[in-house]
Copies of this chain bind each other. A is one copy, B any other.
Amino acid sequence: MAVDLVFEALASRPRREILAYLSAQELTAGEIASRFAMSAPAISRHLSLLEGAGLVSSERRGQYVVYRLNKDNLVNTLTGFAFEVCPKAGPLKRESRRLAARKAT
């Protein structure tokens, strides 16, 4: 299931930080690695796992591989789960109704 992969991917602080780094702009694997006190191979594996979960996409650009955030998949998975567990309570109520209405169309 996609949800399993997403939550597994998010269960790691370095991976969540990678997503945050990608929030503002796309970055190459090397640029991402340079921001962590961790080897490039380790970062590469984190990126691969994030891509497997559908949270980022990659594109080879010459010598480099550029990664970018898949915002929709992240937001939809998180709000989808929150709504499944808390259908009627809390601040998600209005937003969830709006999503449901959009899907029904």
Interface residues of A (CB under 8 A from B): 3-4, 7-8, 10-11, 13, 16, 19-20, 23, 69, 71-72, 74-76, 78-79, 81-82, 84-87, 89-92, 94-95, 98-99
Residues in B neighbouring A75, C-beta threshold 8 A: 82, 86, 89-92
Q: Which residues of B contact A91 (CB under 8 A)?
A: 75-76, 79, 95, 98-99
A contact patch SS: helix
Q: Which residue of B lies closest to A4 (CB)?
A: B13
Copies in the complex: 2
Most chain B C-beta atoms within 10 Å of own C-beta, residue among A11, A75, A84, A95: A75
Shortest Cβ distance from A65 into chain B, in angstroms? 21
Query: Do B99 and A23 have beta carbons less than 8 Å apart?
Result: no
